[in-house]
Amino acid sequence: MTSDHDMLWRRCAYLGRLLLPVVDEEEWRRTRRHERLGTWGIDIAEGERLIEVLAALAAHAVAVDTSVSAAELDVLPLSVVADAVTGKRDFELLAGLPDTFADGRDELAVKVVRLYTYRAGPYSRRLFQLSAEVRRALNVLAERSRMPSPRCGHVFFWAAAAGLSSGHGDLTN
């Protein structure tokens, strides 16, 4: 049986995977992001995967700090996650993660973030730039929303409405 802590990570990882596709509703946003990644010397596929995992890490860190369960993740405001991704130190984002990951891609991406955190120098700058991209994406969604304070659950809803998710919220992905 999967623990609530593992389920929380899975929901946060799913949120991270949905972030860019939901933001990219406007095609020009993807183009601009790719240009920025190229300017920074970051491979697009690697950069976007790290953006996904940084979004997941920020949501997870906030959820753990506020004792939010996997079932309650939907209530976290996007603004709080955006603040965490740039306001928390890299090692704070890595605290409290599950011991094992059901998805090997998540485990690898988290290991890359850990490596970048401990190597410092240009790697710290890269994490800072990618964290700023996560914040930018979350802010775009908040500004686009008709809700005064959109929450993580809105991202799941918007993704489902756009046909990007299975609509399960999803604990299986």
Binned at pLDDT 50, 70 and 90, residue 166 comes out as low
Q: What is the pLDDT of residues 89-110, one digit of tens each?
A: 988 999 888 877 888 899 999 9
Mean model confidence pLDDT for the chain: 90
DSSP tag of 100: S
Q: Is 156 exposed, middle or buried (0-12, 13-18, 19+ CB in 10 A)?
A: buried
Cα(162)–Cα(95) distance, integer angstroms: 33
pTM for this one?
Answer: 0.91
